[in-house]
């Protein structure tokens, strides 16, 4: 069954700790994305990656880091520099889009991060 797997579903972190959220896809998609959702706000882009070993900052990248060593995996690290990390984090993927062929994104079920 093809899809996107985010783990864990719930994550707790002590202040000052880094934490890594996992995102794996078996859809053979080139592009992967991380979003954050806060109550009353739309999804906001943290980082995206169009190809392996390359990634770009989104609108709210401060306090986050990513890596893209494999096509299937795009882990997100929430660092201690992120001042308000409590949120719902969504990972998405899509086939590589170009100006002739936009593609929708497929989402995982999310990870809810809470600060203890």
Partner 1 sequence: DQQVKQNSPSLSVQEGRISILNCDYTNSMFDYFLWYKKYPAEGPTFLISISSIKDKNEDGRFTVFLNKSAKHLSLHIVPSQPGDSAVYFCAASDATGNQFYFGTGTSLTVIP
Residue 116 lies near partner 1 (rule: CB under 8 A)? no
- Whether residue 106 contacts residue 93, with contact meaning beta carbons closer than 8 Å, is answered with yes
Which residue in the set 48, 55, 64, 74 belongs to the binding site for partner 1 (CB under 8 A)? 48
Q: How far apart are CA 108 and CA 91, in angstroms?
A: 6
Interaction between residue 92 and partner 1 (CB under 8 A): yes
Contact 88, 37 (CB under 8 A): yes
Q: Which span (12-20, 61-69, 72-80, 87-95) binds partner 1, by CB under 8 A?
A: 87-95
Which range, of 12-20, 60-68, 69-77, 98-106, touches partner 1 by CB under 8 A?
A: 98-106
Residue 40 binds partner 1 (CB under 8 A): yes
With tokens 């002590």, the residue in question is: 14
β-bridge pairing 111-115 and 10-13 = parallel
How many Å separate Cα 107 from the centre of its chain?
Answer: 10
Q: Which stretch binds partner 1 (CB under 8 A): 12-20, 61-69, 76-84, 103-111?
A: 103-111
Q: If phi over 0 gives left and psi between -120 and 50 gives alpha, with beta otherwise, what is residue 91?
A: beta
The binding site for partner 1 (CB under 8 A) comprises 4, 6, 33, 35, 40-45, 48, 50, 56, 58-59, 90, 92, 94, 97-99, 102-110
């Amino acid at each position: 069954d093809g899809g996107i797997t985010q783990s864990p579903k719930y994550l707790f972190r002590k202040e000052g700790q880094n934490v890594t959220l996992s995102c794996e896809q078996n859809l053979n998609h080139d592009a992967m994305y991380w979003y954050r959702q806060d109550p009353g706000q739309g999804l906001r882009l943290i980082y995206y990656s169009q190809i392996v070993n390359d990634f770009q900052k989104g609108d709210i990248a401060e306090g986050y880091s990513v890596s893209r060593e494999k096509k299937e995996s795009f882990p997100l690290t929430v660092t201690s520099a992120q001042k308000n990390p409590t949120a719902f984090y969504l990972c998405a993927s899509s086939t590589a889009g170009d100006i002739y062929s936009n593609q929708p994104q497929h989402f995982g079920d999310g990870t809810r991060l809470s600060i203890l």
